[in-house]
Structure 1
C-alpha cells in the first residue's frame, strides 16, 4: 500500500487510539501515540480510564477485525483469562426476547484490571 506521509500522530492510547495507530502504520512511515497516562506492560488501572475495571466485550465483528489487525490477539486474550463465546449465545442472557440462535461467530469478554 502506498504511503501518504512520513509521520502521523495519534492523541490517546485508548482502544480507538491504538487501533487508529495500527491502521495508520499502513499509510505512514512513522506513527507516534501521545498518552498522558504512564503506560506499563502490566494490567493496571489508569487514571484516564475510570471504566477500565468494568467488564468489556468484543462482539464478533470487532473481535474479527482485531484478530486481522493483530494476528493471535484473541488467543492472547484467552490465555490472559478472557472468555470466548459464540456470538449467537448472547441470547442466553435474560436480556433477549428473540430466543436462542447460533451464528457461528465468536465474541470475547474481559476486564482490563488484574484479578
Structure 2
C-alpha cells in the first residue's frame, strides 16, 4: 500500500470544497470574469477596453473551471489575430496564452 504524502502537513485539497464551487462566490466570480470581457473579444482585468492575451486566458480559465460553457466568436477572432501572417507570434508569451485560450474555447489554432 502506497501512502500519500501530506502537502505541507495538510491533507490533499478536495475539489468539492474549493470556494469557487460554493453558490454565491461562484456567481460573483463568474460575474466578475464576464465584466472583464471587452467588446473586441479579449478580457482585461482592469475592466478597461484594453484586452490582453494573458487576461483573456485567465478569464476563460475562470469560466471553464466554474462550469460555464462560454462561446464567443469575437474572443476566438481576438486570439487568432495574435498570430502573424507567417504563422509566428511576436513573443512566446503571446503564443502561449493565445493557444491555451483557443484550446479552452475548443478551437483550432490558425495554420497559416
User: Would you say same fold, with TM above 0.5?
Assistant: no
Indicate the structure with greater strand content. 1
TM-score, normalised relative to structure 2: 0.29
TM-score of the two chains, using structure 1 as the length reference: 0.29
